[in-house]
Structure 1
Amino acid sequence: MTEVLFYHLQNMALESVLPPLLEKTIERGWRAVVHTTSEERADALDAYLWTYRDDAFLPHATWRIEDASEQPILLTIDGHNPNRATVRFLIDSAPLPENPEAYERLVLVFDGDDGIALDAARSVWTECKARGFEVTYWQADERGRWQRRHQ
Protein backbone atom coordinates (compact mmCIF):
# COMPACT_ATOMS: atom_id res chain seq x y z
CA MET A 1 0.00 0.00 0.00
CA THR A 2 1.21 3.48 -0.80
CA GLU A 3 2.22 5.55 2.19
CA VAL A 4 1.75 9.31 1.90
CA LEU A 5 3.73 11.63 4.16
CA PHE A 6 2.79 15.30 4.48
CA TYR A 7 5.58 17.61 5.64
CA HIS A 8 4.20 20.95 6.80
CA LEU A 9 6.84 23.67 6.53
CA GLN A 10 6.49 26.71 8.77
CA ASN A 11 9.19 29.33 9.04
CA MET A 12 11.58 27.07 7.11
CA ALA A 13 12.62 26.76 3.50
CA LEU A 14 12.24 23.69 1.34
CA GLU A 15 16.00 23.84 0.76
CA SER A 16 16.64 23.10 4.44
CA VAL A 17 14.26 20.13 4.49
CA LEU A 18 14.56 18.38 1.13
CA PRO A 19 18.24 17.31 1.24
CA PRO A 20 17.96 15.38 4.55
CA LEU A 21 14.79 13.66 3.33
CA LEU A 22 16.55 12.69 0.11
CA GLU A 23 19.58 11.46 2.07
CA LYS A 24 17.33 9.14 4.12
CA THR A 25 15.69 7.90 0.94
CA ILE A 26 19.07 7.00 -0.61
CA GLU A 27 20.29 5.42 2.65
CA ARG A 28 17.33 3.03 2.45
CA GLY A 29 18.31 2.04 -1.07
CA TRP A 30 15.29 3.68 -2.67
CA ARG A 31 15.21 5.77 -5.82
CA ALA A 32 13.41 9.10 -5.77
CA VAL A 33 11.82 11.47 -8.20
CA VAL A 34 11.29 15.07 -7.11
CA HIS A 35 8.35 16.65 -8.92
CA THR A 36 8.24 20.44 -9.05
CA THR A 37 6.11 22.68 -11.22
CA SER A 38 8.65 24.77 -13.14
CA GLU A 39 11.91 24.34 -15.02
CA GLU A 40 13.36 27.30 -13.11
CA ARG A 41 12.66 25.64 -9.75
CA ALA A 42 14.09 22.32 -10.97
CA ASP A 43 17.24 24.07 -12.18
CA ALA A 44 17.62 25.97 -8.90
CA LEU A 45 17.24 22.76 -6.88
CA ASP A 46 19.67 20.97 -9.18
CA ALA A 47 22.32 23.63 -8.51
CA TYR A 48 21.54 23.71 -4.79
CA LEU A 49 21.77 19.95 -4.29
CA TRP A 50 25.37 20.02 -5.52
CA THR A 51 26.40 22.59 -2.95
CA TYR A 52 24.03 22.35 0.03
CA ARG A 53 26.74 20.88 2.29
CA ASP A 54 30.49 20.52 1.92
CA ASP A 55 30.59 17.02 3.44
CA ALA A 56 27.65 15.49 1.58
CA PHE A 57 26.84 14.29 -1.90
CA LEU A 58 23.41 13.57 -3.30
CA PRO A 59 23.66 11.80 -6.66
CA HIS A 60 20.99 13.41 -8.79
CA ALA A 61 20.14 14.87 -12.17
CA THR A 62 17.27 16.46 -14.07
CA TRP A 63 14.94 14.73 -16.48
CA ARG A 64 16.82 16.35 -19.40
CA ILE A 65 19.92 14.16 -19.32
CA GLU A 66 20.36 11.11 -21.51
CA ASP A 67 20.86 8.63 -18.66
CA ALA A 68 17.96 9.91 -16.51
CA SER A 69 16.80 6.32 -16.05
CA GLU A 70 20.01 5.51 -14.17
CA GLN A 71 19.82 8.33 -11.63
CA PRO A 72 18.99 7.55 -7.98
CA ILE A 73 17.37 11.01 -7.61
CA LEU A 74 15.71 12.70 -10.52
CA LEU A 75 14.27 16.22 -10.62
CA THR A 76 11.32 16.55 -12.98
CA ILE A 77 8.43 18.83 -13.94
CA ASP A 78 6.02 16.15 -15.12
CA GLY A 79 4.34 13.00 -13.90
CA HIS A 80 6.75 10.54 -15.50
CA ASN A 81 8.99 8.19 -13.56
CA PRO A 82 11.98 7.54 -15.85
CA ASN A 83 14.28 6.30 -13.06
CA ARG A 84 11.71 3.79 -11.72
CA ALA A 85 11.58 5.59 -8.38
CA THR A 86 9.70 4.03 -5.49
CA VAL A 87 9.47 7.40 -3.69
CA ARG A 88 7.97 10.50 -5.26
CA PHE A 89 8.42 13.92 -3.67
CA LEU A 90 5.76 16.48 -4.55
CA ILE A 91 6.86 20.07 -4.01
CA ASP A 92 5.50 23.46 -5.05
CA SER A 93 1.96 22.04 -5.20
CA ALA A 94 2.87 19.43 -7.81
CA PRO A 95 -0.13 17.16 -8.39
CA LEU A 96 -0.49 13.55 -7.38
CA PRO A 97 0.79 11.25 -10.11
CA GLU A 98 -1.77 9.48 -12.29
CA ASN A 99 -0.76 6.18 -10.71
CA PRO A 100 0.09 6.88 -7.06
CA GLU A 101 -0.23 3.17 -6.31
CA ALA A 102 2.98 2.61 -8.29
CA TYR A 103 4.99 4.18 -5.46
CA GLU A 104 5.82 2.82 -2.03
CA ARG A 105 5.86 6.34 -0.68
CA LEU A 106 4.69 9.78 -1.73
CA VAL A 107 6.14 12.73 0.18
CA LEU A 108 4.24 15.98 -0.12
CA VAL A 109 6.22 18.95 1.20
CA PHE A 110 4.18 22.13 1.48
CA ASP A 111 4.61 25.65 2.77
CA GLY A 112 2.18 26.14 5.64
CA ASP A 113 2.64 29.91 5.38
CA ASP A 114 1.20 29.88 1.84
CA GLY A 115 -2.60 29.68 1.86
CA ILE A 116 -2.80 28.27 -1.68
CA ALA A 117 -0.25 25.55 -0.90
CA LEU A 118 -2.06 24.74 2.34
CA ASP A 119 -5.40 24.38 0.54
CA ALA A 120 -3.78 22.19 -2.13
CA ALA A 121 -2.23 19.95 0.56
CA ARG A 122 -5.61 19.61 2.30
CA SER A 123 -7.20 18.57 -0.98
CA VAL A 124 -4.50 15.94 -1.60
CA TRP A 125 -4.90 14.71 2.01
CA THR A 126 -8.63 14.23 1.47
CA GLU A 127 -8.07 12.43 -1.83
CA CYS A 128 -5.40 10.13 -0.36
CA LYS A 129 -7.59 9.25 2.62
CA ALA A 130 -10.52 8.50 0.29
CA ARG A 131 -8.30 6.20 -1.78
CA GLY A 132 -7.32 4.27 1.32
CA PHE A 133 -3.67 5.29 1.43
CA GLU A 134 -1.85 5.37 4.75
CA VAL A 135 -1.33 9.07 5.43
CA THR A 136 0.81 10.72 8.08
CA TYR A 137 1.28 14.36 8.93
CA TRP A 138 4.63 15.76 10.08
CA GLN A 139 5.41 19.15 11.54
CA ALA A 140 8.65 20.50 12.97
CA ASP A 141 8.75 21.27 16.68
CA GLU A 142 10.34 24.41 18.17
CA ARG A 143 13.79 22.78 17.82
CA GLY A 144 13.24 21.92 14.17
CA ARG A 145 12.79 18.17 14.73
CA TRP A 146 10.03 16.47 12.79
CA GLN A 147 7.17 15.22 14.92
CA ARG A 148 4.35 13.04 13.72
CA ARG A 149 1.04 14.75 14.45
CA HIS A 150 -2.27 12.98 14.75
CA GLN A 151 -4.90 14.05 12.28
Structure 2
Amino acid sequence: MNFEVRPPQPSCYLFALDVSRAAVESGYLRVFCDTLLDELDRLPGDSRTQIGFITFDDSVHFYDLSEGLTQPRMMVVGDVDDVFPPSPDGLLVNLNESRDLVQDLLTQLPEWFAGNHNTRSCLGAALQAAYKLVVGVKEE
Protein backbone atom coordinates (compact mmCIF):
# COMPACT_ATOMS: atom_id res chain seq x y z
CA MET A 1 0.00 0.00 0.00
CA ASN A 2 1.16 3.47 -0.83
CA PHE A 3 -0.04 6.23 1.43
CA GLU A 4 0.92 9.76 0.52
CA VAL A 5 0.59 12.44 3.09
CA ARG A 6 0.03 15.92 1.78
CA PRO A 7 1.48 18.77 3.78
CA PRO A 8 -1.18 21.02 5.36
CA GLN A 9 -2.32 24.13 3.54
CA PRO A 10 -0.25 27.20 4.40
CA SER A 11 -1.70 29.68 6.88
CA CYS A 12 -3.61 32.42 5.09
CA TYR A 13 -4.51 35.78 6.61
CA LEU A 14 -6.80 38.08 4.63
CA PHE A 15 -7.75 41.23 6.51
CA ALA A 16 -10.86 43.20 5.45
CA LEU A 17 -10.75 46.69 6.94
CA ASP A 18 -13.52 49.29 7.00
CA VAL A 19 -12.12 52.66 5.93
CA SER A 20 -15.39 54.62 5.91
CA ARG A 21 -15.39 57.97 7.70
CA ALA A 22 -16.86 56.72 10.99
CA ALA A 23 -14.52 53.74 11.11
CA VAL A 24 -11.40 55.79 10.46
CA GLU A 25 -12.43 58.55 12.87
CA SER A 26 -12.79 55.95 15.63
CA GLY A 27 -9.02 55.43 15.44
CA TYR A 28 -9.26 51.68 14.95
CA LEU A 29 -7.39 51.68 11.62
CA ARG A 30 -4.27 53.24 13.13
CA VAL A 31 -4.40 50.91 16.15
CA PHE A 32 -4.93 47.86 13.94
CA CYS A 33 -2.05 48.74 11.61
CA ASP A 34 0.35 49.56 14.46
CA THR A 35 -0.57 46.37 16.31
CA LEU A 36 -0.21 44.13 13.27
CA LEU A 37 3.15 45.74 12.47
CA ASP A 38 4.31 44.83 15.98
CA GLU A 39 2.93 41.29 15.74
CA LEU A 40 3.85 40.24 12.17
CA ASP A 41 6.63 37.97 13.41
CA ARG A 42 4.24 36.25 15.82
CA LEU A 43 1.50 35.32 13.35
CA PRO A 44 1.00 31.55 13.48
CA GLY A 45 2.29 29.78 10.40
CA ASP A 46 5.49 28.86 8.67
CA SER A 47 7.60 30.10 5.77
CA ARG A 48 4.62 29.53 3.43
CA THR A 49 2.25 31.86 5.32
CA GLN A 50 0.20 34.07 3.01
CA ILE A 51 -1.25 37.49 3.74
CA GLY A 52 -3.49 39.98 1.98
CA PHE A 53 -5.56 43.10 2.63
CA ILE A 54 -8.89 44.46 1.46
CA THR A 55 -10.26 47.84 2.51
CA PHE A 56 -13.75 49.10 1.84
CA ASP A 57 -16.03 52.12 2.05
CA ASP A 58 -18.52 52.45 -0.82
CA SER A 59 -16.10 50.48 -2.99
CA VAL A 60 -13.69 47.63 -2.38
CA HIS A 61 -9.94 48.25 -2.52
CA PHE A 62 -7.44 45.46 -3.15
CA TYR A 63 -3.69 45.69 -2.63
CA ASP A 64 -1.11 44.18 -4.94
CA LEU A 65 1.87 43.21 -2.79
CA SER A 66 3.74 41.20 -5.43
CA GLU A 67 7.41 40.60 -4.88
CA GLY A 68 9.37 43.00 -7.07
CA LEU A 69 7.07 46.01 -6.60
CA THR A 70 8.63 49.04 -4.90
CA GLN A 71 5.38 50.02 -3.15
CA PRO A 72 1.92 48.54 -2.56
CA ARG A 73 -0.49 49.13 -5.43
CA MET A 74 -4.17 49.81 -4.73
CA MET A 75 -6.84 48.55 -7.13
CA VAL A 76 -10.40 49.80 -6.67
CA VAL A 77 -13.54 47.88 -7.63
CA GLY A 78 -16.55 50.19 -7.63
CA ASP A 79 -19.13 47.65 -8.83
CA VAL A 80 -20.12 46.20 -5.46
CA ASP A 81 -23.18 44.43 -6.87
CA ASP A 82 -20.95 41.91 -8.64
CA VAL A 83 -17.63 42.30 -6.85
CA PHE A 84 -14.61 40.30 -7.93
CA PRO A 85 -10.87 40.36 -7.26
CA PRO A 86 -9.36 42.49 -10.06
CA SER A 87 -6.23 40.37 -10.48
CA PRO A 88 -5.42 36.72 -9.81
CA ASP A 89 -1.88 37.51 -8.69
CA GLY A 90 -0.34 39.58 -5.92
CA LEU A 91 -3.39 39.96 -3.69
CA LEU A 92 -2.44 37.10 -1.37
CA VAL A 93 1.34 36.91 -1.05
CA ASN A 94 3.96 35.01 0.87
CA LEU A 95 4.57 37.04 4.03
CA ASN A 96 8.32 36.36 4.09
CA GLU A 97 8.83 37.32 0.45
CA SER A 98 6.71 40.50 0.59
CA ARG A 99 7.35 41.59 4.18
CA ASP A 100 8.67 45.04 3.18
CA LEU A 101 5.55 45.77 1.10
CA VAL A 102 3.27 44.55 3.88
CA GLN A 103 5.03 46.82 6.36
CA ASP A 104 4.84 49.75 3.93
CA LEU A 105 1.10 49.16 3.44
CA LEU A 106 0.42 48.98 7.18
CA THR A 107 2.36 52.21 7.68
CA GLN A 108 0.58 54.03 4.84
CA LEU A 109 -3.05 52.88 5.19
CA PRO A 110 -3.98 55.22 8.08
CA GLU A 111 -2.55 58.18 6.16
CA TRP A 112 -4.24 57.26 2.88
CA PHE A 113 -7.69 57.20 4.47
CA ALA A 114 -7.24 59.85 7.19
CA GLY A 115 -9.36 62.40 5.29
CA ASN A 116 -11.93 59.96 3.96
CA HIS A 117 -15.37 61.60 4.02
CA ASN A 118 -17.18 58.63 2.54
CA THR A 119 -19.82 57.47 5.02
CA ARG A 120 -20.96 54.34 3.16
CA SER A 121 -19.69 50.86 3.96
CA CYS A 122 -20.05 47.84 1.66
CA LEU A 123 -19.08 45.14 4.16
CA GLY A 124 -21.13 42.47 2.37
CA ALA A 125 -19.37 43.06 -0.95
CA ALA A 126 -15.97 43.07 0.77
CA LEU A 127 -16.72 39.73 2.43
CA GLN A 128 -17.84 38.26 -0.91
CA ALA A 129 -14.62 39.47 -2.51
CA ALA A 130 -12.56 38.02 0.33
CA TYR A 131 -14.31 34.68 -0.05
CA LYS A 132 -13.70 34.62 -3.81
CA LEU A 133 -10.06 35.51 -3.28
CA VAL A 134 -9.39 32.84 -0.64
CA VAL A 135 -11.36 30.10 -2.41
CA GLY A 136 -9.62 30.93 -5.68
CA VAL A 137 -6.24 30.53 -4.03
CA LYS A 138 -7.13 27.21 -2.39
CA GLU A 139 -8.33 25.74 -5.70
CA GLU A 140 -4.95 26.29 -7.39
Fold shared per TM-score above 0.5: no
Taking structure 2 as the reference length, the TM-score comes to 0.34
